[in-house]
Structure 1
Amino acid sequence: MTDDSQLDDARLAAETASAAGELLLTVRAIEGDALTGRELGRRGDRAADTYILERLAAARPGDAVLSEESADDPSRVEADRVWIIDPLDGSKEYGMPSHVDWAVHVALWEAGKGLTAGAVAQPAIGVVHSTGDVPPPPPVSRRRPRIVISGSRPPSFVFDLAGELGADLIRMGSAGAKAMAVVRGEADAYIHAGGQWEWDSAAPVAVARAAGLHCSRIDGSELEYNRPHPYLPDLVICRAEWAPEVMAALARHAVGPGDSPRVAMARAYIRSLVSHDASHVRLAADAWRVENGERTGDSGVEIRDRLEHGPEYRPIRRIRDLQFHEWHHSVVARFVLDIATVPGGGKPASEMSVAVTEHFDIPAGEIRSIVAVIEPHPQNS
């Protein structure tokens, strides 16, 4: 039996990510027929998160942890060592039997040093890349660069950028899968904008840096981890020989400010009103919500469940005229909801609109409370 106390950090990261990946394969094999794609992803996420937390607690009991699937402890910001983990990166792809583009991320951040160890496991293809043994990417002879991008939400500017570079675009799930494609030389760059979290990129960046790749924000600035708000919206991982050209093209095409961390959290909540998927909504365990003076949620679990299954959200068809205002810990969102009305008397369904104001209290990395005011919209009259 392996003695965790004798493992160096890179080896611990690799063994932990690998074992969590094997667990995910087992969950997928046993429960894949019984659970829907989303529920299978959540089942796998919870199982892998529990395993990784227990393994790290046994091996490094004094270290802090930042995990996508666990409540955020603000005291981690003052810790000397913080493990940043994503138990299942690409849960959507994991829930689709034909997909192999999902991963497990385990990374270590140290005060004054940044990312010092990490591993990305891709269980479906039997591969684990670690900072302890990753080689430089092999040389390639292709003349057109290959850029991997999100399969579901690619940056709007990336198509013009690809045209300028003469690049081929490859859509793929999971940040880890995309980053490791560059590490292995299957692609030349991975570009993302529009929203990510520290756990999405920490392990991939640690491994990519160990392989000698360029890693930065899309504006060329440093990627910083273990911040009070773990929102890290954009990322570039690129072969060193392509970096000057890619970064110069990004400077011309990737313009405009992105969301702040708090606005990003509020936006994720508002998107879920239509998508009925609250997987990316960060809610504190004791979060609460009030709507027009009535309590509509007493915990993060209850609010998330109502977003996904509550009948009051099913008729929502679209969100428009969305505006955000932010100060201190507060974000106020104002928008219009178009809602389908129930048909009656042989008449087809129609729509009505309501004006919504939602006040979010976000003191740290999770939404603590939501106060909503819903009013008739003038266009209804």
Structure 2
Amino acid sequence: MDDAHFAADVAHAAGLLLLEVRARAHETGRELGRLGDAAANTLILDRLASERPEDAVLSEESADDLTRLDAQRVWIIDPLDGSREYGLAGREDWAVHVGLWEAGVGMTASAVAQPAIDVVYSTADVKGPAPQSGRPRLVVSDSRPPYYMDALAADVEGDVVTMGSAGAKAMAVVRGDVDAYVHSGGQWEWDSAAPVGVALAAGLHCSRIDGSPLLYNRTHPYLPDLLICRPELAEPLLRGIATHATREADTGRVAMAREYIKSLVSHDATKLRLSDRCTRIENGKATGDSGAFLRREIEEGQQYKSIVGVHELVFNEWDTNVVARFVLEFDGGARVNITEHFEIPAGEITAITAIIEPSP
């Protein structure tokens, strides 16, 4: 089986499994999303190990093995894109991403499955959308829409619509349901790799929002923004984004540190990239020796339950280090000053060192 049909077959199989998990599970919401992620990831990794054993893998749900940087072929996968939507009854806007990156070429054989609507889009046979009619429709994240979208839509006399899952939004452009997908504010390579592979095969424009190429299999797999659109819309959209997108985006390492700090308040560690052996030291005392332990503590530990706010947050980054300084607020109004150092060599936080001081 060639790579494109293989990608489609694997994505389809993972999608069927996700439907089964969703149908029989008693869990809902976040826990259902985690069940689906784990099950689909295992299926995809097993297929790759069996049928493409020489290839490297970058998966959202697995530790980042940096030997991929020297590989000629890397499968970039998101076993369940849109885990939030998957955990909500009746939502169809979630997907499975299976894409192949090849050295010197970029994204090649790719597939995106949307199991809830029983369709798989693949570079093996994807077709471009029908000609545009009416006002351009610009799709954005329903949870993190770009701050400049109203101004951008006015520039092109278009309408903004929302949807979950990066793959679902990208495939809506491929189908012609919408005319462009615009994203700012943080994504990872697995969020866009396979959708971009399919969209390029369909003849669509794909780039960063500054017009630069979308590059994959990088040391730090953070890709904060993208534009997927009909080719004729690329120039006016890029021109409008250049005018209205004025905020500086986080680097990948700062984004990872910010996600950790957000989780202290949300008590949701779903999106944290912590290595299996991630350590945490607090005022000289070891308070964690694994990523799994730290995630569990953030979500269930009593010492985190009363955290209600983060204030005056600033970051400093150099080499593989990020330092965050902020004020942590607790239920009842108590506050402490935090200086938190993160060691982030690549796609995961490997060590956290915190200094906690009373707030004046």
Task: Output the TM-score relative to the length of structure 2.
Answer: 0.99
Aligned pairs (5 A) from 1:332-343: 332-340=323-331
- Could you tell me the percent identity over the aligned residues? 63
Which one has the largest radius of gyration? 1
Q: Give the Å deviation of 1:267.
A: 0.7
Name stretches of at least 5 consecutive residues in structure 2 with no aligned partner.
none
Three-state SS of the structure 1 residue aligned to 2:91 is coil
Whether 2:255 is the aligned partner of 1:261: answer: no
**Cross-structure match for 1:306:** 297
1:255 CA displacement: 2.2
The partner residue of 1:121 within 113, 119, 124 is 113
Deviations 1:269-308 (A, max 9, x none): 1110111111111000010111112211110000011111
Using the alignment, how far apart are the partners of 2:304 and 2:157 within structure 1? 44
Tell me how far 1:314 sits from its aligned partner: 1.4
Determine the structure 1 residue equivalent to 2:183: 192
Query: Could you say which residue in structure 1 is the equivalent of 2:43?
Result: 51
1:156, CA displacement in angstroms? 0.8
2: distance between equivalents of 1:74 and 1:56? Answer: 17
Tell me if structure 1 keeps the 8 A contact 2:274–2:350.
yes
Which of 33, 37, 61 matches 1:41? 33
Q: Could you list the runs of 5+ residues in structure 1 that have no partner in the other structure? A: 1-6, 341-349
CA offsets 1:35-80 (integer angstroms, 9 cap, x no match): 1310100000000000000001111110000000000001101100
SS of residue matched to 2:304:
coil
Aligned position for 2:317? 326
Aligned counterpart for 1:134 among listed residues 110, 123, 126 = 126
Aligned residue number for residue 343 of structure 1: none
8 Å contact from structure 2 (residues 132, 179) kept in 1: no
Deviations 1:320-371 (CA, angstroms, capped at 9, x unpaired): 110001111111000011111xxxxxxxxx3111110100011111100001
The equivalent of 1:62 in structure 2 is: 54
Q: Does 1:89 align with 2:81?
A: yes
1:245 equivalent to 2:245? Answer no
TM-score normalised according to structure 1 size: 0.93
Cα distance in 1, alignment partners of residues 49 and 296 from structure 2: 30
Q: How many angstroms apart in 1 are the aligned matches of 2:132 and 2:187?
A: 29
Specify the alignment match of 2:97 in structure 1: 105
Q: What residue is the counterpart of 1:78 in the other structure? A: 70
Offset of residue 97 of structure 1: 1.2
Residue 284 (structure 1) aligned with residue 282 (structure 2)? no
Query: What is the CA–CA distance in structure 2 between the aligned matches of 1:96 and 1:329, rounded to whole Å?
Result: 37
Deviation at 1:113, TM superposition (A): 0.7
CA distance in 1: counterparts of 2:268 and 2:151, whole angstroms: 31
Match of 2:20 in 1: 26
Structure 1 distance, partners of 2:54, 2:3, is: 13
CA distance in 2 between partners of 1:364 and 1:351 (Å): 37
What is the Cα-based RMSD across aligned positions, in Å? 0.8
The letter of the residue matching 1:102 is W
Q: Which runs of 4+ in 1 moved over 4 A?
A: none
Could you tell me how far apart the structure 1 residues matched to 2:133 and 2:155 are?
A: 20
Q: What's the CA shift string for 1:80-100, capped at 9, x where partnerless?
A: 000000000000000001100
Structure 2 distance, partners of 1:162, 1:369, is 42
Kindly provide the amino acid, as one letter, of the partner of residue 324 in structure 2: A
Q: CA deviation at 1:159?
A: 1.8
Q: Tell me, what secondary structure is at the counterpart of 1:313?
A: helix
State the partner residue of 1:363: 345
Whole-angstrom distance in 1 between the partners of 2:69 and 2:248: 25
Looking at structure 1, the residues matched to 113 and 339 of structure 2 have their Cα atoms a distance apart, in angstroms, of 42
Structure 1 equivalent of residue 2 of structure 2: 8
Kindly tell me the number of residue pairs found equivalent between the two proteins.
360
Contact 2:316 2:324 in 1 (8 A): yes
Distance 1:167 1:51 in 2: 41
In structure 1, distance between residues paired with 2:132 and 2:151 = 24
The whole-number CA distance in structure 1 between the counterparts of 2:358 and 2:247 is: 34
Q: Distance in 2 between matches of 1:77 and 1:298?
A: 27
Whole-angstrom distance in 1 between the partners of 2:20 and 2:329: 43
